[in-house]
């Protein structure tokens, strides 16, 4: 049985100082580390309300003696370090001896524990760090730590707690990484009564499967590389499975998961041009180096490290990953050469090359695109803002009207009645279309060039924003709703913008564990690739620090609107052109597309005359 020592100041002054408890996830991390250090091979984590209400960690480790139970909660009380020298060769996860004392000082803690040597278990409760009585209790060998109401006695800090689902995302991230870093330990993770993860302690690949799912495990390539005294082990997913951000990356150094952007970039570099722009590989890599070649004491939560031989470590990781990818390719090409390629396979390959969404979804998208095209054409053909009668009704009923129409007829062209042509209201001469891309007009003494694509994009975007502002948005149910599973962090980010999305007519809801479901889209966005839209949103989220959600969404929607807009190169008929011009003139729109490119350019007669040096 380890005995808990009170560190003397010469030891703890060498230990980086800092807060251990910032949020539920940091408590979870400390408690899990203690359970791992106790030699447990079975650990259960249960949280309520993102851990704000309760965090309970149960293990079957060595337990704590009755005589030691109070000591565990004293500052600088640890069974893991005795002298300064020990600090250079620490193999246990905890060693600062201050986690339990600082957790206990800001919460209500109850510990029950039993060692193999003692006959009875022991129980102790603390409130804001004040001890209750030590009592005997029945408990199997091991420890249960229950932490409730974090920051109940420090309201100023409680204010900084995020919403439960956001805190839960952080906790989930910690347990994920802990499972990866300890693949021989069986973990169970339950959040608000729901089982989230259950790993069997049967090695890393099985841990990846328990956390990320079978699809990831199947794409995982084993890494096992050794050079001098650096060993790199683990898995990288083959380049066909990448993510829009770094959330699916785990780096473990000597059993401790850490953050290291440098290493993450090294791995991206090893992927080289196998990676699409702004996509990130998925991996769990475990780097084992001599304990005294790495300083884990640079950060109080021990999530950052300093390598003594950084370039050697980076080099080893680079080569480890590159070798595996190259081998994988060799094997793959060989297999391709050996198997005769069938026609359907070719088709399939092409499909996945152009679009990584499943075939069925592809079909839906295709159908939706057709539908959008049709709707847009109708939109362009219809005197939406032109008929007096229609102008008076609300936009939403107009769109509904449009929708009803389009539901009824598939091929029949819409008969436009009551159409007031543009010429009736505005004086201009239509000169023609240039390069199937620009509309040329003369209006009085002005020569106007309109970029048809930019203009339509702007119209769609403005329409969406207007409808959203006036709360008159009409959404169209999708034939097949879109569902997808995200990492806890991404999921929390998406949930953060849920309401904004709903305001824009995107019908989004939570649908099982870290899964979302989108079942309707606003009319101007019908047919957009939802998966890509969300991926782009998440990508930008990661790459920006000074954003507002609303701006980011706007930005993303702009580029989506862009894709459903008529394209440069589409031949337009006179009516469509009239409609665009009319809408532009009518809508007070900013003469820039949502991407900031100009929609229309005006030359005065003078400008043209200057071009020909008729005047100076
Ligand atoms: P540290 O982990 O840095 O030693 P902590 O404050 O986290 O400091 O824990 C103090 C001590 O309490 C540990 O050193 C250990 O002896 C004991 N302890 C805490 N949690 C457990 C557990 N789950 N099982 C056995 N012992 C534990
Ligand atoms: Mg500890």
pLDDT per residue as tens digits for the range 100-149: 888 888 899 999 999 999 999 999 999 988 999 999 999 999 999 999 99
Taking the CA of 102 as reference, the closest ligand is 1
Q: What is the mean pLDDT of residues 553-577?
A: 62
Q: Who wins on pLDDT, 545 or 189?
A: 189
Q: Which of 268, 23, 271, 261 is nearest to 162 (CA)?
A: 23
Q: Which residue out of 81, 100, 116 has the highest number of ligand 1 atoms within 8 Å of its CB and is therefore the one to mutate?
A: 100
Distance CA 486, CA 493 (A): 10
At 587 the pLDDT is: 56
At 537 the pLDDT is: 76
Residues with CB under 6 A from ligand 1: 2, 4, 30, 34-35, 38, 59, 61-64, 72, 77-80, 94-100, 143
Q: Which residue out of 44, 61, 94 has the highest number of ligand 1 atoms within 8 Å of its CB and is therefore the one to mutate?
A: 94
At 343 the pLDDT is: 39
Report pTM.
Answer: 0.61
Atom of ligand 1 nearest to the CA of 142: 24
| Helices 24-37 and 164-181, axial angle in degrees (round to 10) | 20
Q: What is the mean pLDDT of residues 484-490?
A: 87
In this predicted structure, the answer to whether residue 89 has a pLDDT above a threshold of 80 is no
Q: Who wins on pLDDT, 110 or 586?
A: 110
Q: What is the mean pLDDT of residues 261-273?
A: 90
Residue closest by Cα to atom 2 of ligand 1 = 94
Task: Count the neighbouring beta carbons within 10 Å of the beta carbon of residue 379.
Answer: 24
Atom of ligand 1 nearest to the CA of 143: 23
Residue closest by Cα to atom 14 of ligand 1 = 78
Distance CA 507, CA 502 (A): 6
Distance CA 184, CA 41 (A): 7
In this predicted structure, the answer to whether residue 83 has a pLDDT above a threshold of 70 is no
How far apart are the two ends of the chain, measured CA to CA in Å?
Answer: 97
Which DSSP symbol is given to 598? B
Q: Measure 43 CA to ligand 1 centroid, in angstroms.
A: 15
In this predicted structure, the answer to whether residue 407 has a pLDDT above a threshold of 50 is no
Q: Which residue out of 78, 80, 103, 117 has the highest number of ligand 1 atoms within 8 Å of its CB and is therefore the one to mutate?
A: 78
- CA-CA-CA-CA dihedral for 538, 544, 548, 549, to nearest 10: 0
Which distant-in-sequence residues (6+ apart) come within 8 Å of 238 by Cβ? 219, 221, 325, 328
Residue closest by Cα to atom 7 of ligand 1 = 99
Question: How does pLDDT run across 428-465, given as a tens digit for each residue?
Answer: 677 888 887 888 888 778 788 888 777 777 777 777 77
Q: What is the mean pLDDT of residues 35-47?
A: 97
CA distances from 408 to 366, 380, 383 (A): 20, 18, 19
Distance CA 441, CA 285 (A): 62
Q: Measure 259 CA to ligand 2 centroid, in angstroms.
A: 19
Q: What residues form DSSP beta bridges with 409?
A: none
Question: How does pLDDT run across 329-353, given as a tens digit for each residue?
Answer: 877 665 555 544 343 433 333 332 2
The tokens of 427 are what?
A: 């004086």
At 94 the pLDDT is: 53
Distance CA 504, CA 486 (A): 22
Alpha helix stretches (DSSP H) within 43-159: 99-105, 155-158
Question: How does pLDDT run across 215-252, given as a tens digit for each residue?
Answer: 899 999 999 999 888 999 999 999 989 998 898 999 99
User: Confidence class of residue 492 from pLDDT cuts 50, 70 and 90?
Assistant: confident
Distance CA 352, CA 550 (A): 32
In this predicted structure, the answer to whether residue 315 has a pLDDT above a threshold of 60 is yes
At 22 the pLDDT is: 79
Q: What is the mean pLDDT of the chain?
A: 75
Distance CA 457, CA 446 (A): 24
In this predicted structure, the answer to whether residue 197 has a pLDDT above a threshold of 90 is yes
């Amino acid at each position: 049985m380890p005995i808990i020592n009170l560190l003397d100041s010469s030891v703890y002054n060498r230990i980086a100082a800092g807060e251990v408890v910032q949020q539920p996830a940091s408590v979870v991390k400390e408690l899990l580390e203690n359970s791992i250090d106790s030699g447990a091979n079975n650990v259960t984590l249960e949280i309520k309300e993102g851990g704000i209400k309760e965090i309970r960690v149960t293990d079957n480790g060595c337990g704590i003696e009755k005589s030691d139970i109070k000591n565990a909660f004293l500052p600088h009380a640890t069974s893991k370090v005795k002298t300064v020298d020990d600090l250079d060769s620490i193999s246990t996860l905890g060693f600062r001896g201050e986690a339990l004392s600082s957790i206990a000082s800001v919460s209500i803690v109850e510990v029950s524990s039993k060692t193999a040597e003692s006959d009875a278990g022991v129980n102790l409760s603390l409130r804001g760090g004040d001890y209750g009585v030590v009592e005997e209790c029945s408990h199997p060998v091991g420890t249960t730590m229950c932490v409730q109401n974090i920051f109940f006695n420090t309201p100023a800090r409680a204010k900084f707690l995020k919403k439960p689902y956001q805190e839960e995302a952080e906790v989930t991230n910690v347990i994920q990484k802990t499972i990866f870093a300890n693949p021989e330990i069986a973990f169970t993770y339950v959040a608000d009564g729901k089982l989230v993860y259950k790993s069997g302690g049967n090695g890393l690949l099985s841990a990846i499967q328990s956390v990320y799912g079978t699809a990831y495990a199947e794409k995982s390539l084993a890494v096992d590389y050794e050079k001098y005294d650096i060993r790199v082990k683990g898995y990288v997913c083959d380049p066909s499975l990448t993510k829009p951000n770094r959330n699916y990356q785990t780096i473990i150094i000597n059993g401790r998961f850490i953050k290291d952007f440098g290493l993450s970039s090294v791995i991206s570099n090893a992927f080289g041009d196998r990676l699409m722009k702004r996509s990130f590989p998925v991996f769990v890599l475990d780097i084992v180096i001599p304990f005294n070649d790495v300083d884990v004491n640079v950060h109080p939560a021990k999530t950052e490290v300093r390598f003594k031989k950084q370039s050697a470590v980076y080099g080893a990781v680079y080569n480890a990953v590159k070798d595996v990818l190259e081998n994988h390719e060799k094997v793959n090409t060989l297999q391709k050469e050996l198997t005769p390629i069938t026609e359907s396979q070719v088709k399939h390959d092409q499909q996945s090359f152009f679009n990584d969404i499943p075939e069925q979804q592809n079909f839906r998208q295709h159908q939706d695109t057709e539908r959008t095209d049709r709707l847009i054409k109708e939109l362009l053909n219809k005197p939406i803002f032109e008929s007096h009668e229609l102008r008076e009704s609300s936009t939403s009923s107009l769109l509904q009207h449009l929708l009803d129409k389009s539901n009824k007829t598939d091929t029949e062209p819409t008969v436009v009645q009551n159409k007031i042509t543009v010429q009736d209201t505005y004086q201009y001469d239509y000169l023609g279309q240039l390069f199937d891309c620009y509309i040329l007009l003369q209006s009085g003494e002005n020569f106007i060039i309109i970029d048809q694509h930019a203009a339509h994009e702007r119209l769609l975007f403005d329409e969406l924003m207007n409808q959203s502002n006036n709360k008159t948005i009409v959404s169209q149910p999708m034939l097949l709703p879109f569902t997808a599973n995200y990492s806890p962090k991404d999921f929390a980010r998406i949930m953060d913008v849920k309401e904004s999305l709903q305001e824009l007519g995107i019908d989004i809801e939570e649908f099982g564990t870290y899964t979302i479901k989108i079942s309707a889209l606003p009319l101007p966005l019908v047919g957009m690739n939802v998966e890509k839209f969300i991926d782009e949103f998440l990508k930008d989220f990661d790459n920006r620090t000074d954003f507002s959600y609303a701006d980011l969404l706007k930005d993303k929607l702009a580029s989506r609107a862009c894709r459903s807009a008529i394209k440069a190169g589409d031949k337009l008929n006179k009516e469509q052109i009239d409609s665009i011009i009319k809408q532009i003139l009518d809508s007070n729109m900013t003469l820039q597309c949502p991407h900031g490119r100009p929609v229309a350019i005006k030359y005065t007669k003078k400008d043209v005359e200057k071009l020909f040096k008729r005047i100076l």
